[in-house]
Amino acid sequence: MAAQVDENDARIETETVSFAGASGDINGYLARPKGADSAPGLVIIHENKGLTPHIKDVARRGALEGFITLAPDFLTPAGGTPDLEADGPARTKSLDMAKTIGDGLAAVDSIRTRSDSNGKVGTIGFCWGGGLSNQIAVHDPNLDAGIVFYGRSPKDEDAAKIKARLLLNYGSLDENITPSVAAYEAALKAAGVDHQIFIYDGGKHGFHNDENAERYHGEHSKTAWQRSIEFMKETLGS
């Protein structure tokens, strides 16, 4: 499917950036509303295939909604996102996850401290990135909001460390991730974490990715994205 927001859209500005992370300098793709001087921030966290054209498009969608949006290439320490998406998962598996979490925390800080930021930041992660979005929420008590699309849940005992508001999206047909949701929800409730959970009937793992025809679900993708944007605007401002 073609990009939903063209990279040359006059309403936004895009650039390739880098920031200092726990693994060294991390490359990324930044999209921002044109002329914004005090906007909330988003960190978009890619699937295990890396910083693909789809994820860059998602970043542009965020910018079009009024957010300074950073999509880091978390595969930078492993040589960067490969030309062949099929090679991405192997590079993802090679990462030192403790350092990768540190890279995620640094990404959030890099947006939070920008002169054109209002100081509020949320994360949106997909698949592998959904798991990392959860981990950033566990490790950053100053994170304002975290959104997860079909990502791995943290340990139950870590739920009490989460201070951010959470919005969690899952597909009912995702046999790998969705069965863990009940325990995660119970842990979040016990810890008093502000959270919302949506399970999309008939949705597969990856239902938001419009580059994956086998898994993509147009209606669920649109609904989940609208909920995500409304949630972020409510939490971070606009």
Per-residue pLDDT of the chain (238 residues; tens, 9 = 90+): 778 999 999 999 999 999 999 999 999 999 999 998 899 999 999 999 999 999 999 999 999 999 999 999 999 999 999 999 999 999 999 999 999 999 999 999 999 999 999 999 999 999 999 999 999 999 999 999 999 999 999 999 999 999 999 999 999 999 999 999 999 999 999 999 999 999 999 999 999 999 999 999 999 999 999 999 999 999 999 7
Task: Please report the DSSP string for 149-205 in residue order.
Answer: ES-----GGGGGG--SEEEEEEETT-TTTGGGHHHHHHHHHHHT--EEEEEETTPPT
The answer to whether 41 and 67 have CB atoms below 8 angstroms apart is: yes
Three-point CA angle 215, 46, 120, nearest 5°: 125
Closest Cα partner for 180 from 227, 234, 219, 131? Answer: 131
Please provide the size of the chain in residues.
Answer: 238
Cα–Cα distance list, 39 to 15, 68, 133 (Å): 17, 6, 21
Would the pTM of this model clear 0.85, i.e. be above it? yes
- Range 40-63 burial, b when 16+ CB lie within 10 A, else e: bbbbbbbbbbbbbebbbbbbbbbb
Pairing of strands 165-171, 12-21: unpaired
Give 13-236's CATH code, choosing from 1.10.10.60, 1.10.12.10, 3.40.50.300, 3.40.50.1820.
3.40.50.1820
Rounded CA separation 5/103 (Å) = 27
Domain residue ranges in the chain: 13-236
